[in-house]
Amino acid sequence: MGEAILKGVLDCNFLRPEEIIIYDKDNYRERYIKNNYKVYAAKEITELVKKAMHILLAVKPQDLKVVLEKVKINFNYKVNSIISIIAGIPSCYIEKMLSSDARVVRIMPNTPALFRKGMAVVSKGRYVKNSDLIFSKELIKSVGDYLLIDEKYQNIATALSGSGPAYFFLFCKYLIDAGIKKGLNPEISKKLVTETMIGAGITIKKSKGSLDNLIKKVASPGGTTEAALEEFIRGKLDKIIVKAVESAKKRAYELEKFLD
């Protein structure tokens, strides 16, 4: 996800390569990013913090404590701000780890950001300045759209938009597999499902009507679509989805345990 944001800010000219400094503990990844995007790679996290103004954290939750301990060495809350794209980690934890009035903006993007079609949620910590928020919003706009929300809703938003693409991919996979099992060529089945889903998404976005009305326009009484929808209803698809979203939300809270 960090690379997707890097590519986005460069593609839309929000930042220039010479304005960006990166650090990755994986030497292979660091060399790849440095050479592919022509950005400067810091030798240590402490060097990055000293040279950067806005610090984007794109690490695994279990690695965050160690990273923040290194960030803290040269961190100056009057100069530096933190932008975190780490699921389940509240801004107050980062503030506490940095032992200062750290300005923390929390963002949860999603994988369509790779194609600049992402949907993100943005929340501000207690000490965030307006200039920090403006920068963060412009940053995430480089890879898609965003909504500004209260941080208390971050975990449920993560369960919808952060994890949502995977739910969608799974449904598409099952639909493609169903077509193949019923005799369709795999490429034909994939093409039919893919283009249908793209078109359906555009329809939702541009339509002024409710989703129920859109469903009615496709599902004629006694027709093929209605027969399929009745199977979903009998299978209690609605309850399965609610349970899945709740599980994702719960897991976001559990990620904080990695910080202990």
pLDDT class for 207, splitting at 50, 70, 90? very high
Read off the pLDDT of each residue in 174-193 and give the average, rounded to a whole number. Answer: 98
Quick one: 180 exposed, middle or buried, by C-beta within 10 A (0-12, 13-18, 19+)?
middle
Of 56, 19, 15, 4, which is closest to residue 138 (Cα–Cα)? 15
**Mean pLDDT of all residues in the chain?**
95
The number of beta carbons lying within 10 Å of the beta carbon of residue 57 is: 20
Burial of 133 (0-12, 13-18, 19+ CB in 10 A): middle
State both tokens at 169.
Answer: 């991919």
Q: Is there a single domain that holds both residue 186 and residue 139?
A: no
Q: Which of 3, 1, 162 has its CA nearest to residue 87?
A: 162
Instruction: Give the CA dihedral 83, 89, 91, 95, nearest 10 degrees.
Output: -100
One domain for residues 29 and 50:
yes
Identify the pLDDT of residue 238.
97
Looking at the structure, tell me whether residues 81 and 178 fall in a common domain.
Answer: no
In a domain, 116, yes or no: yes
Nearest-angstrom CA–CA distance, 73 and 20:
20
The string of pLDDT tens digits covering residues 111-153 is 999 999 999 999 999 999 999 999 999 999 999 999 999 999 9
Residue 260, in any domain of the structure: no
- Using the 3D structure, point to which of 105, 128, 158 is the last residue of a domain: 158
Q: Decide if 235 is inside a domain.
A: yes
Whether residue 259 is predicted with pLDDT greater than 80 in this model: the reply is: no
pLDDT at 257: 72
DSSP category for residue 148: E
Percent of the chain residues past pLDDT 70, beyond the cut: 99
What's the Cα-to-Cα distance from 38 to each of 16, 43, 57, 113, rounded to whole Å?
Answer: 10, 16, 20, 21
Rounded Cα distance between 155 and 87, Å, is: 8
Tell me, yes or no, whether 216 and 148 share the same domain: no
**Cα separation of 64 and 155, whole Å?**
18
For residue 207, give every residue at least 6 positions away whose Cβ sits within 8 Å of its Cβ, in sequence order, or none: 214
Is residue 99 scored above 90 in pLDDT?
no
- Determine the average pLDDT of the residues in 28-36: 95
pTM for the model stands at 0.90
Residue 196 and residue 220 in one domain? yes
Q: How far is CA 193 from CA 71, 197, 213, 214, 238, in A?
A: 46, 6, 21, 18, 21
Query: Given a cut of 70, is residue 260 above it in pLDDT?
Result: no
CA distance 222 to 224: 7
Six-digit token pair at 145?
């759209």
Order of strands across the sheet with 103-108? Answer: 54-57, 81-84, 103-108, 118-124, 144-148
Burial of 14 (0-12, 13-18, 19+ CB in 10 A): middle
Average pLDDT over residues 92-100: 93
Q: How far apart are CA 172 and CA 194, in angstroms?
A: 8
138, 158, 178: which is the final residue of a domain?
A: 158
Q: Which amino acid is at 139?
A: L
- Domain containing 208 — which CATH number? 1.10.3730.10
Average pLDDT for 202-221? 96
Domain enclosing residue 125, as ranges: 2-158
C-alpha angle 123-126-128 in degrees, rounded to nearest 5: 70
